[in-house]
Amino acid sequence: MELAINTQNEPEKETGYFLSPLWEDVFSKELLEELNSNIFLVACRSGQANPSLLRKFMIQHHYYSQYFTRYLCSLMGGLADQKDFVSLSHNLLEELTGTDAAKISHAELYKKAMAAINAVPKSDAILKSTQQLIDAMFRHCRSDDSLRGLAALCLGAEAIVPLVYGPILDALRSIKVSDDALYFFEIHVEEDEDHAIVMRKIIDRMIEENPHRRQMLLLLVKRWCVFAWRC
């Protein structure tokens, strides 16, 4: 994300967010270090993410995240196994209707978070990198090869939520925002691994059926994580 951030002479705070051991065979130590070195996440961890920067991020992230259900539907439409379709439909239902604790769509929760820090949707023009991210996610999820969509949406999005949303949560808390600004990120840090695990099971079965595809998967994960969170 092309945000102007100056982190010179600022000590980087060690991230307190980690991925569970489930993902160790997919995310190398080097890849995780590269993801954690993202300049925006460094700013969040080092206390440099001021309200203006967070607003800019949330406006850009809204451009991307507003299509999440469409990414998911595109992926589901390409799945050959009906059971896999049903498994992912639970994620879709939660996105659209919320959880038992909060019957509100995730899209509406995000808008409430934006309003809580005075981030007005589309008040900043979409960045080229944001549009490229949207286009790439649609391209992967619409691919005839559903492993590509699973790699992007599971391993390039859902599985890494703690590493991305965790520091953002810390930054939001540091500027003492209301709970409305936090809830969207809190529920995703807490719950998205469950969604990722559902997709991971499908990925594992595909790899078991065609072991030679594992190398392609690892390459996709590396390219996607670096591409999606470059600055």
Checking if the pLDDT of 84 tops 80, the result is yes
Query: What is the rounded average pLDDT of the residues 63-69?
Result: 96
Q: What is the CATH number of domain 26-228?
A: 1.20.910.10
CA distance 101 to 94: 11
CA distance 73 to 67: 10
CA distance 24 to 143: 26
pLDDT for 140: 96
Q: Can you say whether the dihedral through the CA atoms of 80, 222, 129, 15 is positive or negative?
A: positive
pLDDT for 44: 96
pLDDT for 16: 66
pLDDT in tens, 12-60: 445 568 898 999 999 999 999 988 999 999 999 999 999 999 999 999 9
Compute the half-sphere exposure of residue 132: CA atoms within 13 Å on the CB side of its CA.
11
Query: What is the rounded average pLDDT of the residues 153-170?
Result: 94
Checking if the pLDDT of 5 tops 50, the result is no
172, 158, 161: which is closest to 47 by C-alpha? 172
pLDDT in tens, 97-146: 876 666 789 999 999 999 999 999 999 999 999 999 999 999 999 999 99
pLDDT for 49: 96
With bands split at pLDDT 50, 70 and 90, how would you rate the model's confidence at 82? very high
pLDDT for 191: 86
With bands split at pLDDT 50, 70 and 90, how would you rate the model's confidence at 184? very high
62, 64, 44: which is closest to 53 by C-alpha? 44
Q: Using a pLDDT cut of 70, give the percent of the chain over it.
A: 90
What are the CA-CA distances from residue 102 to residues 81, 105, 109, 140, 183 (Å)? 31, 8, 9, 31, 10
Domain ranges of the chain: 26-228
Checking if the pLDDT of 8 tops 80, the result is no
CA distance 103 to 94: 9
pLDDT for 189: 92
Number of H helices, E strands in the chain: 11, 0
